[in-house]
Structure 1
Amino acid sequence: MKKLMLAAIAATAFGAAAPAMAEVVVVVNAKAAESTMTKEQVAQFFLGKSTAMTPIDQSESSPIRAEFYKKVADKDAAQAKALWSKLVFTGKATMPKEAGDNAGVKAALAANPKAIGYIDKSAVDATVKVVYTAQ
């Protein structure tokens, strides 16, 4: 019985120590025409392959940014930054605007109906429309 209790306590401790992965959703202005997008469409905006929408990144140190690029673009944040640096250097694009957090992304989307960003699902409210859930 004692071993079983210790095993349960250890399992709980290890479970609590594991980092919680955010559920990342891609959002647009609530009044935007877009209602759904594919992973490929979203990746095009955030990798500089399409200029139809303006990408809004979260801060470079944000864990959600790394999670987003891993799940949507199959790249780590450093690879995405290197790609953007090349596009900027060759004059083909300008770096995405950067918002500090979920609230900053929502404010940027409210100010620009052609913007697209990503936030934690828990931050979704009536000011934004979810067009893709990263998995």
Structure 2
Amino acid sequence: MKLLKLATVLGLVIFSMGSLADIAIITHPSNTNPLDQTAISKIFLGKVKSYPDGGTIIAINQLEGSPVRAAFDESVLGKSSSQIKSYWSKLMFTGKGTPPQEVQSDAEVKQLVAANPSIIGYVDASLVDDSVKVLLKF
């Protein structure tokens, strides 16, 4: 009986891992600034506010609690969503920063990024099209 329970739990873990979508970090198609994971992490943690060419960066987050946001926090920022929330709470309390604006959905992120070269965001990689440029996938 224990073996059956263990097999069931392992099956669920493997299934849930396989169902996690790839995350695409996106920007406007005209943006030529190369960014690696470290730079992207610094942008979304409020440590960097401009591109290497001097242009302003506007980071856009998905809603707290969304699966895409949780995957982004873990994969790109290397922290849990609760750790990120705590990080921003401390910065806001001390007046040293404000978190990126939150939007409702992948579609809204894509629409904002496609309309403004300063914006960087992330979406489910399966939803990327020609209206945006993929910087990295996780």
Q: TM-score, normalised by structure 1?
A: 0.81
Report the counterpart of residue 18 of structure 1 in structure 2.
Answer: 15
Report the counterpart of residue 46 of structure 1 in structure 2.
Answer: 44
Give the ranges of 4+ consecutive aligned residues of structure 1 lying more than 4 Å apart after TM superposition.
none
The 10-residue stretch of structure 1 (66-75 or 110-119) with the greater mean CA deviation from structure 2: 110-119
Contact residue 45 and residue 99 of structure 2 kept, 8 A: no
Aligned partners of 2:132 and 2:63: how far apart in 1?
19
Displacement after TM superposition at 1:82 (Å): 1.4
**Cα RMSD between the aligned structures?**
2.0
Aligned partners of 1:113 and 1:80: how far apart in 2?
26
Deviations 1:35-80 (A, max 9, x none): x421101100111111111111111121111111111111011111
Q: TM-score, normalised by structure 2?
A: 0.79
Question: How many pairs are equivalent?
Answer: 122
Over alpha carbons, which structure has the higher Rg? 1
Q: Give unmatched runs, 5+ long, in structure 2.
A: 1-6, 51-56
Q: Give unmatched runs, 5+ long, in structure 1.
A: 1-9
